[in-house]
């Protein structure tokens, strides 16, 4: 039901359309004929290249129904010469088949289904993602195909001009603001650096995962580890490539890995990377706002160790593995243990074995009591 279908607007459309028809008929070979079915895109442009043409919904929303010819013709679908009516089967005549949506969002949610006719693989991928679940639960603002890709201006994904985080940011504005200020986002937006993660590297693009449908918090160290354990990549930025190794070998990380392997359905109370570094707002440890800067570290530990005092963070080795050139005292204590423990255990074993041999020989009577 459109409010545009009142007599005044109809008369306006009729006069306007008749004029357009006459002009088009005389200036080109096309002859759109009312009631006979439009098939050619040119017939649609007769009306839809008018930048003033609008459509109103019962909700009171009014949208432009102008279609930019250049934009469409340079889109992936336009380049293939796809006819408008391939997607808009109900518009081959004017007046078009009436629509029943009460507002613009409902209209978009009905029309995105068009995409799924051809792109069956992608619809299968998005089926159970966070947005589809939110949509099914009654949240109409969750993302569908056209929210991320556009409509008549769809480009090949490798040629898309808008960085994907900004597309996500149209709805996730606050998160995107934090992200663009983070060490990763600043590198992506500032330098176009392709090595840093964008939203889709961590959440996926079609099979989008988040805390509500995946033990995301628990498994998030694996996401970081993909890049931060890549020695060549990290060394090219002068960043410590052992952060994952050192995390896994310390008391916090060890427990997290055990949870991941044997109790992945349970949340752990031990910190994962983002509990110390922040999620979308992580900064370089040298930044004065960084949650892991020495001056700010105590507050970060106190989230879980409320009684921690000023020197508490020193009880922990951070990302450093003790070695001859860093954290030497711990390294030497470890070395002493490495020598002492085999020595002690070895001596014990020797004692037990020799005692056994002695008892055995005694039994056989080959040895006199001493």
Q: Per CB under 6 A, which of residues 229..248 are in contact with ligand HEC? A: 237, 239-240, 243-244, 247
Separation CA 222–CA 215 (nearest Å): 12
β-sheet bridge partners, residue 56: 62
For ligand HEC, give the closer residue by CB, 97 or 354.
97
Q: Token pair of 322, please?
A: 């003790």
> Residue from 212, 266, 309, 311 that binds ligand HEC (CB under 6 A)?
212
Q: Applying CB under 6 A, does 223 fall inside the site for ligand HEC?
A: yes
Question: Is 90 an interacting residue with respect to ligand HEC (CB under 6 A)?
Answer: yes
Rounded to an integer, what is the distance from CA 353 to the centroid of its chain? 61
- From candidates 71, 128, 153, 172, binder to ligand HEC by CB under 6 A: 172
Q: Does 269 bind ligand HEC (CB under 6 A)?
A: yes
| Nearest residue to ligand HEC, scored by beta-carbon proximity | 210
Closest CA to 37 of 81, 78, 77, 90: 90
Q: Give the span between the Cα atoms of 124 and 271, in whole angstroms.
A: 35
Scan residues 26-45 and list those touching ligand HEC (CB under 6 A).
Answer: 32, 38, 41, 43-44
> Residue 340 interacts with ligand HEC (CB under 6 A)?
no
Choice from 25, 30, 71, 76 touching ligand HEC (CB under 6 A): 76
CA distance 303 to 307: 10
Closer CB to ligand HEC, residue 216 or residue 331? 216
Q: Count CB-CB contacts under 10 A for residue 194.
A: 8
Asked if 14 is part of the footprint of ligand HEC (rule: CB under 6 A), the reply reads: no
Q: Does 197 bind ligand HEC (CB under 6 A)?
A: yes
Which of 165, 77, 178, 70 minimizes the C-alpha distance to 118?
A: 77
Query: H or E segment at 276?
Result: helix 273-277
169 near ligand HEC, rule: CB under 6 A? yes
The reply to whether 189 sits near ligand HEC by the rule CB under 6 A is no
Interface mask toward ligand HEC for 116-155; x: CB under 6 A: xxxx--xx--x---xx--x----x-xxxxxxxxx-xx-x-
Contact region with ligand HEC (CB under 6 A), list: 195-203, 329-337, 340-348, 349-357: 195-203
Asked, as a colleague might, if the bond just before 95 is cis with ω within 30 of 0, I would say yes
What is the gyration radius of the CA atoms in the chain, in angstroms? Answer: 34
Contact present, 231 and 241 (Cβ < 8 Å):
yes
* Residue from the set 216, 257, 321, 322 that interacts with ligand HEC by CB under 6 A: 216
Buried/exposed code over 324-350 (b: 16+ C-beta within 10 A; e: otherwise): eeeeeeebeeeeeeeeeeeeeeeeeee
To ligand HEC, the closest distance from the beta carbon of 233 in angstroms equals 6
Considering only residues 45 through 64, tell me which ones interact with ligand HEC, judged by CB under 6 A: 46-48, 53, 55, 63
Choices 214-222, 259-267, 339-347, 357-365 (CB under 6 A): range interacting with ligand HEC? 214-222
Tokens of 187: 């590198």
- Cite the beta strand spans of the chain per DSSP E: 54-56, 62-64
211 binds ligand HEC, rule: CB under 6 A: yes
């Amino acid at each position: 039901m459109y409010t545009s279908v009142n007599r005044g607007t109809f008369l306006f459309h009729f006069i306007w359309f008749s004029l357009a028809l006459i002009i088009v008929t005389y200036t080109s070979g096309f002859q759109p004929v009312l009631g006979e079915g439009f098939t050619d895109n040119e017939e649609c442009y007769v009306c839809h290249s008018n930048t003033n043409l609008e459509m109103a919904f019962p909700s009171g929303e009014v949208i432009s129904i102008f279609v930019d010819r250049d934009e469409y013709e340079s889109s992936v679908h336009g380049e293939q010469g796809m006819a408008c009516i391939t997607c808009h089967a109900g518009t081959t005549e004017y007046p078009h088949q009436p629509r029943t949506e009460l507002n613009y969002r409902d209209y978009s949610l009905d029309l995105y289904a068009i995409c799924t006719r051809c792109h069956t693989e992608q619809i299968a991928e998005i089926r159970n993602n966070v947005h589809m679940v939110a949509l099914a639960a009654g949240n109409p603002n969750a993302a569908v195909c056209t929210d991320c890709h556009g409509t008549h201006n769809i480009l090949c994904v490798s040629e898309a001009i808008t960085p994907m985080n900004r597309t996500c940011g149209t709805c996730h504005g606050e998160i995107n603001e934090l992200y663009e200020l983070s060490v990763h986002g600043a590198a992506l937006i500032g330098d176009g650096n392709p090595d840093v993660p964008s939203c889709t590297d961590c959440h996926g693009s079609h099979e989008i995962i988040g805390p509500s449908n995946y033990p995301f918090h628990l498994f998030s160290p694996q996401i970081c580890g993909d890049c931060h354990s890549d020695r060549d990549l990290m060394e090219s930025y002068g960043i410590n490539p052992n952060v994952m190794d050192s995390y896994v070998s310390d008391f916090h990380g060890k427990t997290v890995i055990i949870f991941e392997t044997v109790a992945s359905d349970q949340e752990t109370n031990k910190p994962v990377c983002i509990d110390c570094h922040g999620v979308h707002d992580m900064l370089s440890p040298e930044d004065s706002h960084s949650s892991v800067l020495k001056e700010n570290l105590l507050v970060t530990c106190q989230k879980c160790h409320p009684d921690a005092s000023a020197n508490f963070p020193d009880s922990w080795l951070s990302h450093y593995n003790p070695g001859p050139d860093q954290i030497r005292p711990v390294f030497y204590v470890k070395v002493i243990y490495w020598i002492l423990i085999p020595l002690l255990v070895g001596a014990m074993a020797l004692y037990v074995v020799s005692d056994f041999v002695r008892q055995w020989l005694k039994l056989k009577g080959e040895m006199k009591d001493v």
